[in-house]
Amino acid sequence: MNYPELEKLIQVVKDLRRPVTGCPWDLKQTHKSLLKYLIEESYEFIEATESEKSLEMQDELGDVLLQVLLHSTIASQEKTFDLESVAKNLSEKLIRRHPHVFKDPSLATNAEEVVKNWEEIKKEEKQSNGGASSSRIDKSYLNFPALFSANKIGVKTAKLNFDWDNAQQVAYKVEEEWQELKEELVASKISKERVTEEMGDFLFSGAQLARHLGIDPEDCLRQANKKFLRRFNHMERLIEEDGKILEEMNQSEMDVFWDSAKSQEKAAKNN
């Protein structure tokens, strides 16, 4: 196989990181300084994917690839690892974790068995590398976005039979946490620490309810964010068309335009 454009890209990134003649910005970057860009580019790819825009997906996936190449180039310069070792490690891991493809087809006949085998092999790998956790739930889950992490924790504990029986039971738990949060909000002296704790419990139980309903809580909130921004932009247009300036309006005045934007969106959706 020949990938001339990929080879060209790898060389371009190396040139950007070349001492003296490279790009000053790229040269000053480290693994840690680049982390925020990896997260940002990943979410931009998610946005493009959800919008089903192939050209944007291609562009954003390229930006994600750039982050992989930058990290690999930095590591190569530090003599810790390089792109070749990254690729070698990944291919070996994929072969090792897919024995039903590369060894014995009878080891997994459906997607559920594949996932189960994957987790077992992953656990064995950690034990052999001396990295097995004393807990059955990996603390690395805490490195993910909070709602995503809450969902993964719930999925893991459910496999250990530590879970609610159905969505209705979780809904009761959500209501219980909401009541506890409200109690803190009406206390004679509001404690930010207590409110933070109760808000966390409320959000965690909400994430578990979403899981029981077959909904990804991270995606759920992301869609809500998109809906709010879309409606806010609609409200801005209506205010501008009415000859008003948003910054000079009070809350009740803006609410009128917000409700109008909401009604127009619902009407358009029903048509």
Amino acid 6 reads L
DSSP structural state of residue 216 = -
The CA distance from 114 to 240, in Å, is: 55
Interval 48-85: pLDDT, tens: 998 899 999 999 999 999 999 999 999 999 999 999 99
* Cβ count near 226 (within 10 Å): 13
> How does residue 41 score in pLDDT terms, banded at 50, 70 and 90?
very high
**Average pLDDT of the chain, as a whole number:** 94
Interval 209-242: pLDDT, tens: 999 999 999 999 999 999 999 999 999 999 999 9
Burial zone of 150 (CB within 10 Å; 0-12 exposed, 13-18 middle, 19+ buried):
buried
pLDDT at position 252: 97
The CA distance from 54 to 82, in Å, is: 30
Tokens coding 5: 């454009």
> How does residue 152 score in pLDDT terms, banded at 50, 70 and 90?
very high
Contact, 107 vs 99, CB < 8 A?
yes
Nearest by Cα to 122 from 87, 85, 147, 156: 156
> How does residue 131 score in pLDDT terms, banded at 50, 70 and 90?
low
CB proximity list for 63: less than 8 A, separation 6 or greater: 41, 44, 45
Amino acid 37 reads Y
The CA distance from 209 to 173, in Å, is: 9
pLDDT at position 136: 78
pLDDT at position 143: 85
pLDDT at position 134: 60
**3-class SS of residue 243:** coil
Q: What is the mean pLDDT of the segment spanning 158-174?
A: 96
> How does residue 90 score in pLDDT terms, banded at 50, 70 and 90?
very high
Is residue 132's pLDDT more than 60? no
Domains and CATH numbers, the chain: 4-92 (1.10.287.1080), 99-128 (no CATH), 139-215 (1.10.287.1080), 219-270 (no CATH)
Is residue 37's pLDDT more than 70? yes
Is residue 117's pLDDT more than 80? yes
The CA distance from 134 to 254, in Å, is: 54
pLDDT at position 176: 98
